[in-house]
Amino acid sequence: MDTISSRENNNILPVAGVIIGVIGLLLSIIAFVKVKSANDQIAALTEKVTAVESQAAAAASAAEKANADRAKLQNSTQDAVTQLGQMITEVRDRVTKIEEAAKAKAVAAPVKGAKGEPAVAGPGEYVVKKGDIGTSIAKANGVSVEALKAVNPGVNFNKLSVGQKLKLPKK
């Protein structure tokens, strides 16, 4: 029996070697397929990463441009506000000057005589009576309204006061 079992052992070894070789070959084919699949996935992911990097670069560029535009807008807005402040100051100064000039040219209140009597017109003057307007005064004195206004600058002919003295232009 020893001889038989030793022959059987010798026949099994080559078959076992072939089986192990076939298993090794199958495992290497499976490993090759898995590696190829992994390489394909890596290539696809590399393309996606490249696209994302490109988009990130474009976004960064757009952000820089937007930041620069914002800074320009902020500067131009500040300049406009500064100019507006200067203009407001100029207008306020002009209004103040106009108000001061109007106060200086304001017509005095009706003048009363020494004993509280109504004012009397001197030569070349007219004292406003109740109901008088610029056109009626000019017509009554034979002068034009324009000439009457010219010798009475600062007088508001829409707000004449009773007893107010007006100069009359020479005829």
pLDDT over 90 at 28, yes or no? yes
Residues 103-121 pLDDT 10s: 766 544 444 444 555 556 6
pLDDT attached to residue 68: 94
Q: Name the residue ranges covered by the structural domains of the chain.
A: 1-106, 108-171
Question: What's the CATH code, domain 108-171?
Answer: 3.10.350.10
Q: What percent of the chain has pLDDT over 70?
A: 83
Q: What is the CA radius of gyration of the chain?
A: 55
pLDDT attached to residue 108: 44
pLDDT attached to residue 101: 81
When pLDDT is averaged across residues 31-59 and rounded to a whole number, the result is 94
Rounded distance, CA 162 to CA 110, Å?
Answer: 7
pLDDT attached to residue 129: 92
The secondary structure of 128-164 as a DSSP string is --TT--HHHHHHHTT--HHHHHHTSTT--TTS--TT-
When pLDDT is averaged across residues 1-27 and rounded to a whole number, the result is 77
When pLDDT is averaged across residues 66-90 and rounded to a whole number, the result is 94
Residues 123-139 pLDDT 10s: 889 999 999 999 999 99
